[in-house]
Every structure is written in structure tokens, then in C-alpha cells.
Structure 1
Amino acid sequence: MADLQDELHDPPEVHEPPVPRTGPYVPRGGPDPQPQPSAHAEPDPGAGRADPLERAYALLGRCPVADGYSGLPRALRELPWYDLQLGESAVDTDVPRLRRGRVGALFCALHLPEGLASDRALGATLEQLDLARAVVAAHPEGLRLARTAGEVLDARNCGRVAVVLGPATAAALDGSLAVLRVLHSLGLRVLTLAGTSWASEAGLTRFGEEAVREMNRLGVLADLSGASDATIGRALALSRTPVLATRSAARALRPHPDNLPDGLLAELGAAGGVCMVPLAAEQTGPALRDVADHLDHVRAVAGPGSVALSGTYDSGAAHPQGLADASGYPHLIAELLDRGWPEPDLALLTWGNVQRALRTADFTARAAQERKGP
């Protein structure tokens, strides 16, 4: 029913601040070359009727950003007190900035700090999961926990930011599928397949393959950022639901280990997966236009149905100029409009592709659970 409501009604503009107007939008670094029409959609008939920033706010009012990675749980652990509803300057993310940035869904990462002892992985993951749930419960006017694609839509239609739990670190499973099922019952929706003996440089072991199958059965999405090429290739072949790369840009433009080469980007696109380009200077470059270059490249190689956004805010990463916090998304969308991206492709980038992945995982899990048990 939530999906049907999404087709019929635009989300209400609840608690949204007015569009900031500081003059016409000016592309950073001067005008771009003549934009090329998309090979995947008809030219936008509304082009030229309004400046790109105004059009960006209008588009994000219909299709807000699904932000694929936030380190907020870990960042909040260091603070003795905070209020995300009124605003919190000690972090990159709070409700006012999420509203200014037109963010409709936020994936809260449960990744572990480097150097943590393996026997502490599960406990530390549970602590972060518990904190994320407590933060959502403490801010009911702005945030709402979402476990399914339908709940994400319901939160958006009620003017709340949907909080999706994950990605978490695979080491938290401690070699047990029962732990995976417990984490899922607590709300986990994304698991990163990296950093364990069963998802290593050699690829997935027999247990790793069973873990992917059980994730499909439960509706937990696989995150392949940071995984080896062998693990990525096997997971793409094995998974019956779309996989995510929650923090990966184009390695052809910037050689970072978490970025994906063109061959894997093409495979990801063919499999219906989603590459979520991070707003991290180390992976994309120091300027907003560098992020746009990566989005252009991923869209060209993987297709417009396989590219999305990942803020990586509060994760310790430095961010490109103009994208310092969660409020900067409209300026990035304005840059892409100025480059000639059609609005249907932008709607997929901001919201549609992530929602499709969540919805497909829900449908696949429902069907699988009718056929077999754990």
C-alpha cells in the first residue's frame, strides 16, 4: 500500500525550510561544455525554465535523497549530550540540516573502529545498534526507524527522515548465521562483506556463500565496498537481490582501494546493483565538481539505474568543498542539472535506485521464507 501511495501522492512538505535564495546558481569553476543529452531518457522539456538550484529543490521535494552511509552512531558516542532536533554543531548531521539537504532516508553505519579485538565485534555492533535505535526514539518529530521499503516511504510521506540500520561489519557474525538472524530481528538491513576469513581476498568460502543466501532469505542487503574483487564477483553471481556498494566511486578517475574499476561497475549495473558514490574528498576529489565527475562516470558505465549517493558524514572523512554537511545535496543536484542530467535520471539517483533495491530485497525475502526456513 505504501508503494501505491508513493505513486499517487507527493510527500507533504512538513517542516521543510524555504528554499534559500542567494542569487542565481553559478556553476563552480565556470560554465561547463555544452551538456549532452542522456542516452537513457528523453530531454527534459522543463530545461531552461528555471535556474538549476531552484529546479534542484523542486526535484528533491518529490524525490528526496536516500543517503547510503552515515557514521552518526559512532560520532554521537563521543558526545556527553546532544539534540539533533534543534541542531548539533558537534556533528555533520542533524534534523535541520537533513531537512535543508532534502534527505528522506539515512543509512546509519554500524562499522567498527579499526584495531578492535575480534571477540569484541559483536558486542560493539550491538552497542552501536542500540544507540542508533535510542537516537531515533529520542527524536520522533524528525526521525523514524524503517525496516522495509514500505516503512521508508511511510516515513517520507509523514515528513520524517527514515533511518535504516546498516551497513554493519561482517565480523560481527562471528561465523554464525544465528547471529545474522538476531541482528536482522533488531533491524539490521545491510551487511558489509569484507574483513573476515569467509569474505577475503580469496573470495567467499562455503560459509560465506551460505551467509549470502541467508541474507537474501532475510532481506539483508550485501554491501561490497571494501571487498576484494573475488568476493564482489562471487556475490554478484550468487545474490538474488540487488547488492550495494555503499562507499564506492570510480577507480578510473581516482585510484582508491574502495573505488570500483569499470569492469566491476559494468557487472554491478548488469546485476541491478547500486554504486553509492561517497561525498569523501579522498575517494572523489576536493571539489563538488569532482563528485559530479564520478557520478557522470558511474552513470555512463553502470547505467542510470545503478548509481546513488552516500554522504559518509560523521565517518571521519574529509568532504569536498561545498558539501561539508548533509545540507549540501541541492547544490550537487543543481550541478548535475547544469550538466544536462534529465530529471528522470536524477530521481533514480536520489531516491529511486535505493528504493528499488530495498523493495526487491523485501519481495525476495518474503518469497524465500515461504519456501524454506533458516
Structure 2
Amino acid sequence: MKPIALAAALLAAAAAAPAMAAKPAESPEARVERVLGAAPVIDGHNDLPWEIRERYDLWRSPLDLRSDTSRLPAPLQTDIPRLRKGHVGAQLWSVYIPVSIKGPAAVLTTLEQMDIVRQMVARYPADFALAATAADIRRIEKEGKIAALMGVEGGHQIALSPAVLRTYYELGARYMTLT
């Protein structure tokens, strides 16, 4: 009986072997692509608005974010192709200004920074849409676009005015740091 039991066990194991065969190992690159495809990146800080302000004269100078901006005479670290390659689903654009700018000048400069973000969304409507809520981010991501949010990077930017803070909120700012 023992030889028959052993033969049956070996036959059962041989029959089950194809089902138990190990799947080929997923490459790290394939795993990253799979994970990012399921859960897009929400980048919490990007200084592109300030870079556009300083290097491209508040966007009065030619600049196309659909091209590789790392090759420009005044290179940038952000452009639409790299945002897409990185699976960025939402971008919080910093509307930072230096702490040396105070009072009404701080408010004006912040509004200009917010305007740069709004210009970006208006210039590239196939790529960006303004978002104010988590539901907006999900909707915009489903549309194949990058959700654009804004954050004020210093309490000095409200010039001690709660009304200015409320105005920034109405214009799309969703956070403000104290420093």
C-alpha cells in the first residue's frame, strides 16, 4: 500500500506543479508604473510660479511648459512632460514670496503669484484644472488632467489682514504656512 500511496502523492504533486509555478518576478520599474497608475502622486510643493516670475518676467517672456524646460537658457525643474512622466495627479503650487517683501507689497506680489498659477491653468487647459477640494482632485484626475492647487508660503503675505486671507482662499489658496 505504501508504494501506491507514494505514487498517488507524487502524481498529485506533479499535476499541481503548473498551478503552483512561481510567477515571473515583477521588475521594480514595472511595479512603480503599476502603483503610480493606481495612485497618482500629489506633489505638496512646487516653486515654479516664483521661478516664472523671476526668470520669465511674470510670464511676459516666452515660455512653453509643454516643452523640456531643462534645456532652456534659464532652465526650470518643472514642465508638463515631466509632471506626466512622474504620474503627478495634483500639484500644490507654492505662491511663495520672500519675507523681505512686507505689507501691501507682499499682498500685491502674492496676488501676482496666484495669477501666474491661473495663467498656467488657462494656457494649458488640456493639462491643468484648478482644484479646491479632494473631490475636485479626483474628478480632475479622472479627466486625465493635473489638479492645480495653491498654497501661501508665509503669514507675512496677508499683511495682518484676515480679509486678505479670505480673498486668497476665494482665489484658490488652500493652505498658508506661518513662516
TM-score clears 0.5: yes
Q: Which residue of 1 aligns with 2:141?
A: 156
Question: In the alignment, which of 78, 81, 87 is matched to residue 68 of structure 2?
Answer: 87
Q: What is the CA–CA distance in structure 1 between the aligned matches of 2:65 and 2:40, rounded to whole Å?
A: 19
Question: For the Cα contact (< 8 Å) 1:71–1:109, is it kept in 2?
Answer: yes
Q: Which residue of 1 aligns with 2:8?
A: none
Question: For the Cα contact (< 8 Å) 1:110–1:128, is it kept in 2?
Answer: yes
Please say if 1:144 is aligned against 2:129: yes
**SS in structure 1 of the partner of residue 153 of structure 2:** strand
| TM-score for the superposition, normalised by structure 1 | 0.38
1:49-198 aligned within 5 A:
49-77=25-53, 78-79=55-56, 80-89=61-70, 90-194=75-179
**SS in structure 1 of the partner of residue 34 of structure 2:** helix
Question: For the Cα contact (< 8 Å) 1:68–1:107, is it kept in 2?
Answer: yes
Q: What is the CA–CA distance in structure 2 between the aligned matches of 1:76 and 1:180, rounded to whole Å?
A: 23
1:330-345 aligned within 5 A:
none
Deviation at 1:177, TM superposition (A): 1.2
Query: What is the CA deviation profile of residues 180-231 of structure 1, one whole-angstrom value per residue up to 9, with x for unaligned ones?
Result: 111111111010022xxxxxxxxxxxxxxxxxxxxxxxxxxxxxxxxxxxxx
Deviation at 1:166, TM superposition (A): 0.8
Question: For the Cα contact (< 8 Å) 2:66–2:80, is it kept in 1?
Answer: yes
Question: For the Cα contact (< 8 Å) 1:64–1:104, is it kept in 2?
Answer: yes
Amino acid at match of 1:67: D
Amino acid at match of 1:178: A
Question: For the Cα contact (< 8 Å) 1:66–1:105, is it kept in 2?
Answer: yes
Q: Which residue of 1 aligns with 2:14?
A: none
Consecutive unaligned residues of structure 1, counting only runs of 5 or more, are 1-46, 195-374
Q: Which residue of 2 aligns with 1:365?
A: none
Quickly say closer, same or farther: Cα 1:180–1:150, change in 2 above 3 A: same
Q: CA RMSD in A?
A: 1.7
Amino acid at match of 2:33: Y
- Count of aligned pairs between the two proteins: 148
**SS in structure 2 of the partner of residue 189 of structure 1:** strand
Q: Percent identity?
A: 35
| TM-score for the superposition, normalised by structure 2 | 0.77
